[in-house]
């Protein structure tokens, strides 16, 4: 029997309930939601939360086999949806459509490089929770406290490179942290070769990484997911 | 939300299957034509009178199939991504054949060449037909370089669909004129 693919799961409207919220930093939190019994997805896919006229897409961070759903997001004070989720009490009812997107892991003979900035790490967390290992991960953050899933990725990755903004304060473990942007790491440190790049984060980062892939790794594959 | 990223400023684009290719790549030419065709069909729908809601729905269904075709063309053969896409089958072409027969049966028989034009909706449909033929030519080129490889059967179905769609767009153009009470303009040699 072939493994399920994206087209096996119909995009439909679902109801869910807020179960729990855990703050990872002063601005980033995980929100756990009940999982509708008929909802199925592939690791790396998104759901679209609906609230009145607002629609926001968020990548799931749980594995498809997990009994609940969870998201990781940053509270944007001026944002439309994240403040609602940041204060939603357990029991709050929400609607969503999904699953959405094609940002799923496709094994090949080439080495895999995951590249994320900030909460763009979310889809990779779901992938790792399905048992994917042996990849290189670059996670760009402004502060060392934003490396919230460091333990999980350190265990699963072949090489885990936190990329800390050059202007960030010194950390204790300066040996294991790259000081600079993820695109700088790709420019200066990743050996030449053909890779499968999976890139998730803000579009400015995706542009910089794309241009770097064109320049240094032109025969590689590049899959991207933009976070707005 | 910004629409532009700037990652294509140096003449390259990403296929759905992950490859970075030239924007002049044959595959990009082909799905670009399909995108152009789809946009023109939007013009046809916009120019239909409100009384033609059913016809508009039929055309929008075709637009949806064209999005699937665009995705199929944006994937290199053998990529695992192709497993994730909706397949184009002969059922899609058969649905068009049914629509062609229905529309053609409602039109006066044609004995001469006609000039593309008439009502604006008909003019859009004729333009769509010509772009559809160009899309078909590019997909035929594409299929010539991937004969015998994985995915060639899918391209064969796409070629059949585009061939049938051109015929549909011809009768649709004539129907658009009929809806407006206009006759087709015959070619005077």
Q: How many CB atoms lie within 10 A of CB B54?
A: 7
**A214: nearest CA in chain B?**
B20
Structure token digits, residue A207? 């542009």
ipTM for this model:
0.75
pLDDT of res. A210: 94
Best residue in A2, A4, A99, A106 for a mutation probing chain B (most B CBs within 10 Å): A106
pLDDT of res. B157: 95
10 Å CB burial of residue A97 (0-12, 13-18, 19+) is: middle
Q: Which of A168-172, B7-11, B50-54, B117-121 has the lowest mean pLDDT?
A: A168-172
For residue A52, how many C-alpha atoms fall within 13 Å in the half-sphere facing its CB? 3
Positions in chain A whose pLDDT score sits under 50: none
Give B88's contacts in chain A (Cβ within 8 Å): none
CB contact under 8 A, A214 and B12: yes
Domain positions in chain A: 8-100, 112-226
Query: Considering chain B, what percentage of its residues have pLDDT values greater than 70?
Result: 95
DSSP H or E stretch at residue A31:
strand A28-34
Give B85's contacts in chain A (Cβ within 8 Å): 7
Residue of higher predicted confidence among B112 and B53: B53
Best residue in B3, B7, B17, B72 for a mutation probing chain A (most A CBs within 10 Å): B7
**Total count of domains within chain B:** 1
**A-B C-beta contacts closer than 8 Å:** 48
Nearby residues of B65 by Cβ (< 8 Å), 6 or more positions away: B88, B92, B161
Q: Nearest CB to A206: which of B7, B79, B84?
A: B7
Strand partners, B115: B185
The strand pair at A159-164 and A136-141 is best described as parallel
Residue A160 carries which DSSP code? E
CATH topology of domain A112-226: Rossmann fold (3.40.50)
Residue B6 carries which DSSP code? S
Residue B179 contacts A where some CB pair is shorter than 8 Å: no
B76 is a domain residue: yes
The strand pair at A68-74 and A93-100 is best described as unpaired
Residue A224 contacts B where some CB pair is shorter than 8 Å: yes
Helix then strand then coil, % of chain B, to nearest 5 = 65, 5, 30
Structure token digits, residue B134? 């160009």
CB contact under 8 A, A106 and B20: no
Closest CA relative to residue A58, chosen from A79, A73, A77 = A73
Query: Considering chain B, what percentage of its residues have pLDDT values greater than 90?
Result: 79
Radius of gyration in angstroms for the set of CA atoms belonging to chain A, rounded to a whole number: 18
Domain extent at residue B150: 19-186
pLDDT of res. B7: 73
pLDDT, averaged across chain B: 92
Nearby residues of A167 by Cβ (< 8 Å), 6 or more positions away: none
B66 touches B131 (CB < 8 A) = no
Largest CA distance in chain B: 54
Strand partners, A94: A16
Give B83's contacts in chain A (Cβ within 8 Å): 2, 5
B23 is a domain residue: yes
Nearby residues of B100 by Cβ (< 8 Å), 6 or more positions away: B164, B167, B168, B171
Residue pLDDT, tens place only, B49-81: 999 999 999 999 999 999 999 999 999 888 888
pLDDT of res. A175: 60
Give B10's contacts in chain A (Cβ within 8 Å): 211, 214
**A4: nearest CA in chain B?**
B84
DSSP H or E stretch at residue A207:
helix A203-216
B173 touches B125 (CB < 8 A) = yes
pLDDT of res. A3: 64
Give A81's contacts in chain B (Cβ within 8 Å): none
pLDDT of res. A10: 81
B97 touches B168 (CB < 8 A) = no
The CATH number of residue B81's host domain is: 1.20.1200.10
Residue A213 contacts B where some CB pair is shorter than 8 Å: yes
Give B12's contacts in chain A (Cβ within 8 Å): 214
Alpha carbons A188 and A191: distance in angstroms, whole number:
8
pLDDT of res. B152: 80
Give A214's contacts in chain B (Cβ within 8 Å): 10, 12, 20
A33 touches A16 (CB < 8 A) = yes
CB contact under 8 A, B14 and A228: no
Residue of higher predicted confidence among A199 and B4: A199
Q: Does domain A8-100 have CATH number 2.40.30.10?
A: yes
pLDDT of res. B79: 85
Q: Please, where are the H alpha helices in B74-187?
A: 90-105, 120-145, 152-179
Alpha carbons A182 and A180: distance in angstroms, whole number:
7
Radius of gyration in angstroms for the set of CA atoms belonging to chain B, rounded to a whole number: 18
Burial profile A162-183: b = 16 or more Cβ within 10 angstroms, e = fewer: bbbbeeeeebeeeeebbbbbbb
């Amino acid at each position: 029997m072939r493994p399920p693919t994206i087209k096996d799961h119909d995009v439909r409207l679902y109801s869910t309930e807020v179960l729990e919220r855990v703050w990872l930093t002063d601005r980033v939190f995980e929100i756990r939601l009940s999982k509708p019994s008929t909802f199925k997805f592939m690791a790396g896919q998104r759901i679209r939360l609906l609230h009145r006229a607002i629609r926001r897409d968020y990548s799931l961070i749980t594995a498809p086999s997990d009994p609940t759903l969870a998201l990781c997001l940053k509270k944007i004070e001026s944002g439309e949806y994240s403040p609602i989720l940041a204060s939603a009490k357990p029991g709050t009812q929400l609607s969503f459509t999904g699953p959405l997107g094609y940002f799923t892991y496709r094994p090949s003979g080439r080495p895999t490089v995951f590249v994320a900035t900030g909460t763009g790490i979310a889809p990779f967390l779901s992938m790792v929770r399905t048992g994917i290992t042996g990849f290189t991960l670059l996670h760009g953050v402004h502060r060392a406290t934003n490396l919230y899933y460091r333990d999980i990725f350190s265990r699963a990755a072949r090489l885990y490179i936190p990329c800390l903004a050059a202007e960030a304060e010194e950390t204790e473990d300066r040996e294991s942290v790259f000081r600079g942007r993820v695109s700088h790491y790709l420019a200066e440190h990743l050996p030449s070769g053909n890779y499968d790049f999976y890139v998730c984060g803000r579009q400015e980062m995706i542009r910089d990484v794309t241009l770097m892939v064109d320049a240094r790794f032109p025969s590689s594959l590049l899959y991207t997911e933009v976070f707005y | 939300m910004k629409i532009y990223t700037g990652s294509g400023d140096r003449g390259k684009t990403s296929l759905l299957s992950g490859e970075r290719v030239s924007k002049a790549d044959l595959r990009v030419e082909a799905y670009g034509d399909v995108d152009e065709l789809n946009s023109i069909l939007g013009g046809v729908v916009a120019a239909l009178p409100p009384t033609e809601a059913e016809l508009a729905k039929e055309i929008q269904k075709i637009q949806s199939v064209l999005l699937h075709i665009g995705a199929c063309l944006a994937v290199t053969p053998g990529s695992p991504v192709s497993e994730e896409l909706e397949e184009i089958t002969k059922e899609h072409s058969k649905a068009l054949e049914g629509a062609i027969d229905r529309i053609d049966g409602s039109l006066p028989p044609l004995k001469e060449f006609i000039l593309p034009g008439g009502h604006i909706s008909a003019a859009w449909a004729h333009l769509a037909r010509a772009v559809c033929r160009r899309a078909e030519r590019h997909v035929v080129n594409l299929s010539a370089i991937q004969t015998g490889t994985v995915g060639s059967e899918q391209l064969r179905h796409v070629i059949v669909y585009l061939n049938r769609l051109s015929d549909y767009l011809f009768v649709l153009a004539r129907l658009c004129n009929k809806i407006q009470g206009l006759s087709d303009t015959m070619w005077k040699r």
